[in-house]
Amino acid sequence: MKISGVGSKGAASGPRRTDKNSKPGEFRRALVDSMDQAEESHAVEASVGIGSVDALLMVQQADDALERETRRRLVRRGESLLDGLEDLRHGLLMGEIPVDKMATLAQTIRVRRESSTDPRLSALLDEIELRVEVELAKLSRRG
């Protein structure tokens, strides 16, 4: 498809000066000044935007750090409960039930644990705590 009738058919000419009173280089100076003003206004806008993003990232990092610390405490709790179960098993194999270990384990279970946003960790801790309660119930029936 051919488009015709657009533009002039004459030869292109060089730059034309319409204002005879303007000094050479005045347009260039005006252009540079307008670009400097545009950069200054963008710099102010950019710093405001970056400041709000920085604040948001800091809040997220604080939440992440808090969640990591909570997770560490919960993992330590689970490991402590498993160690207590291991001590009970060892005591049963040796023929005597360590009463002090049972009391410590029972106290650990009674202390309410923190909540976690990780469902797998929560489910695992629930299973460990249930197993500890079952073992303590079995041992208390014996004694």
Average pLDDT per consecutive 10 residues, the chain (143 residues; last block may be shorter): 60 56 71 72 53 67 78 89 88 82 83 82 88 85 69
Give the pLDDT of residue 42: 54
Distances from the Cα of 128 to the Cα of 87, 97, 119, angstroms:
15, 20, 14
Residue 16: the pLDDT is 59
The pTM of this model reads 0.51
- List the structure tokens of 12: 């292109």
Give the pLDDT confidence score for residue 101 in this predicted structure.
81
Distance CA(53)–CA(76), nearest Å, equals 34
Q: How far apart are CA 4 and CA 33, in angstroms?
A: 41
